[in-house]
Amino acid sequence: MIAPGFTAPGFTAPGLTGSPLDRADHLRHDPEGLAAAMGDGRAKLLKLENFEPEVSGDGTLGWTSLADAPADAELVLLGLIDGKPHFAAYIDGMRAPAGRSPSLFRALDQMQPGEAETYAAARSVLDWHSRHRFCPNCGNATAMFRAGWGRLCNTCGAEHFPRTDPVVIMIAEHDGRALVGRGPQWPPGRYSALAGFMEPGESIEEAVAREIWEEAGVRVSNVRYVASQPWPFPSSLMMACIGVAEDDAITLDVRELQDAMWVARADVKKVLAGDPSAPFLSPPHYAIAHTLLTAWANEAC
């Protein structure tokens, strides 16, 4: 297992991790402290256009002053960076677009990993606000509280907090090869690790085994955890794992996968290096599937 902040030989930290944010939980419970943060002349507001970030040439996020916040915006305290408050603006009725645009893919490709995690936090919490304006308990309108990290129903008193949806992403290994697959809508030639949402009452290891069996008809055991990554589309936590396959017979669920295949370490290394002779295209470097394949190819997990 790769511990936080630790990089093993042959292992690169997942994309969308390593944010410099101090999430400053104490300010979420301190109205006076929060007001002081909002009044701090050094405070910054994340630049977003329809949920997409502004990214500079060096891969850092664009920020402006709180004076540029729309008049009807509510501010979410993302946290402190170098002691300076950093916020994102929520406007009632804003909704994240379906899917991810080419410009967002380019931005993710440009962003430094820590910057991407800061963006991931902002995007996920703003999207959550847009989807939880009404109380699921009584149906009445909710209001932001806890510096934007909760919503309160003033009718029934229920408190609601941003959710994270756990997803397992994994490869099976057998006889020195890894199992990869491709979805029907993916770019031509791209393969990646298999993935699926965890179900209630299920462990990570059980979810890995179930998903590989359901999608590819392969039984696995001895599941081991590798690393995790936030994925803000809209609010997933990707948990990367490897399982040992009982055999290499593949039975596809064509509703989930267009194809699946076993690939050797040497071929995965070609994929990651961008070798034209590689058998498939690599997942993007900021996706944890890339981290997982890199760690497996280099025998670092």
Q: Is 229 exposed, middle or buried (0-12, 13-18, 19+ CB in 10 A)?
A: buried
Predicted confidence at residue 9, as pLDDT, reads 58
Nearest to 278 by CA among 160, 189, 158: 189
Question: Which residue in this structure is represented by tokens 């909002």?
Answer: 38
CA distances from 291 to 16, 35, 253 (A): 11, 40, 25
In this prediction, residue 13 carries a pLDDT of 85
User: What radius of gyration do the chain's Cα atoms show?
Assistant: 21
Which tokens is 52 given?
């997409």
Distance between CA atoms of 79 and 24, rounded to whole angstroms?
5
Are the C-beta atoms of residues 238 and 264 closer than 8 Å to each other? no
Q: How far apart are CA 186 and CA 163, in angstroms?
A: 27
DSSP 124-138: HHHHHHHH-SB-TTT
Give the domain 165-297 fold.
Nucleoside Triphosphate Pyrophosphohydrolase (3.90.79)
In the chain, CATH 3.90.79.10 sits at: 165-297
CB atoms within 10 A of CB 234: 16
The Cβ of residue 163 has, within 10 Å, a number of other Cβ atoms equal to 11
- pLDDT per position in the chain (301 positions), as tens? 444 444 555 667 899 999 999 999 999 999 999 999 999 999 999 999 989 999 999 999 999 999 999 999 999 999 999 999 999 999 998 998 887 888 999 999 999 989 999 999 999 999 999 999 999 999 999 999 999 999 999 999 999 999 999 999 999 999 999 999 999 999 999 999 999 999 999 999 999 999 999 999 999 999 999 999 999 999 999 999 999 999 999 999 999 999 999 999 999 999 999 999 999 999 999 999 999 999 999 998 8
Amino acid identity, residue 110?
Q
* 210 closest CA partner among 201, 16, 55, 233: 201
